A = this chain, B = another copy of it.
Amino acid sequence: MTELPLATRATDLVGSVIDSSTSLLASQQHDIVRFAMGSPAPEAVPADTLRQIAQVELGRPDAYDYAATEGDPRLRDAVLGLLDDTPDRTSPERLLITAGGMQGLDLAFKLFVDPGDLVVVESPTYTNGSATALSYQAELLEVPVDDDGMQVDTLEEMVTRAGRTPKAIYAIPTFQNPSGASMSVQRRERLLELTREWGSVLIDDDPYGLLRFEGDDVPSLHALADGDPLVFSVRTFSKIVGPGLRVGWVDADPSLQQLLINAKQAMDTCTNLPLQRLVAGFLEGGHLQGHLDVQRAAYHERKRAMQDALTEHFAGLARWTDPEGGFFLWVTFETGVDTEALFETALAEGVAYIPGNAFSPSKRFPDALRLCFASSTPERIQEGVARLRRAVDSIRQR
């Protein structure tokens, strides 16, 4: 067989547990409660409204042409308008429309990370986020997360021990994926101080910030940074409208705009235009706020349902986080359950989740798992957690 002349970095491309489980899920014929993917509830997707908007927008031939690389003017205006009365107000020269939040991360690591550079990630962290840093051959420093988010004191100690400062710090400060934890405002401020001291780029990935259903607002890193060029903010419509759209944006220093355009042209030329117009129409029509209200209420109810079910089925066996928004709960078994080994049994019982090790490049969470409470109704959540307990009992009896 011909040997393909792969680049060195190809060996650093890590597979995602999420993907293999998706394929497995797709191949299963029987009923499965889906706690795995970070998708909005199907009934929370405003498909009817979007279809009506599509009826206008997708009938225009110019919707199928190339978009400007920085984004369609209508969507750019709509995003600026969305942020205008918030602490995250921004300006056109900071804005680039992207193919979801993921491309914002790809752009950030492409612009800032040379092979061997130190990049801080949270532990646990978003699988594809750390995977992208690795694909640019970063060396990762995994900093623990607790109920107040990234342990910034520990970060400082770890950087001192490493003997060199990080090129970039990758944080998901609000309703973190996968833990559900939010970074306290004190830690956010301290993180910004360290960023400035070190001259690192702070990649502020905040897909869930608009999905708070309880507790008090915490200012975003973007808002606290007040235009600091070191803060590179990544945002998306994936969680608040639909991930399949692949529409998000980057909010970054104006000095980066032309570089971002150049880098994005070499990735995908531009973001798909019909769905930029669809999202623009959704925002222009004033649909987002009501939609967010409905989602927040639903996700609040679902989180409580999941907490109740966990208490019923896993009290004493595991502990779990208590997020004030977003999609995810993080469950850690007290009793040494191997969640990768558990996965197939759980699927056979009819419940899917993501094993903890998917969220750590060095696989630090063999006894944890991520549950998405957003995608299932309270009744299904109750059923899914009961099935998870049966799966755990089944492997513990072996």
**Interface residues, chain A, with chain B CB atoms under 8 Å away:** 1-10, 13-16, 19, 22-23, 26, 37, 39-40, 42-43, 45, 47-48, 50-51, 54-55, 58-69, 73, 99-100, 102-103, 106, 110-114, 117, 128, 131-132, 134-136, 167-168, 196, 199-201, 228-230, 241-247, 253, 255-256, 258-259, 261-263, 265-275, 278
Contact = CB atoms under 8 A, between A and B. Distances in A.
Contact of A263 (B135, B199, B201): B135
A59 B46 CA distance: 9
A26 B69 CA distance: 12
A10 B106 CA distance: 13
Contacts of A68: 19, 22-23, 26
Contacts of A66: 22, 37, 39, 243-244
B61 A266 contact: no
A69 B230 contact: no
A65 B26 CA distance: 13
A276 to B, nearest CB: 9
Please provide the 8 A-B residue pairs with the shortest distance between their CB atoms, ordered closest to farther. A64-B242, A244-B273, A51-B59, A246-B272, A13-B262, A132-B266, A45-B61, A99-B268
Contacts of A59: 47-48, 50-51
15 contacts: A4-B201, A4-B253, A5-B168, A7-B110, A7-B117, A13-B263, A16-B265, A22-B66, A37-B65, A106-B268, A132-B266, A244-B274, A246-B268, A247-B272, A274-B278
A261 B64 CA distance: 26
A93 to B, nearest CB: 13
Nearest to A277: B244
Contacts of A230: 2, 4
Given A54-B51, A59-B47, A110-B135, A229 B4 contact: yes
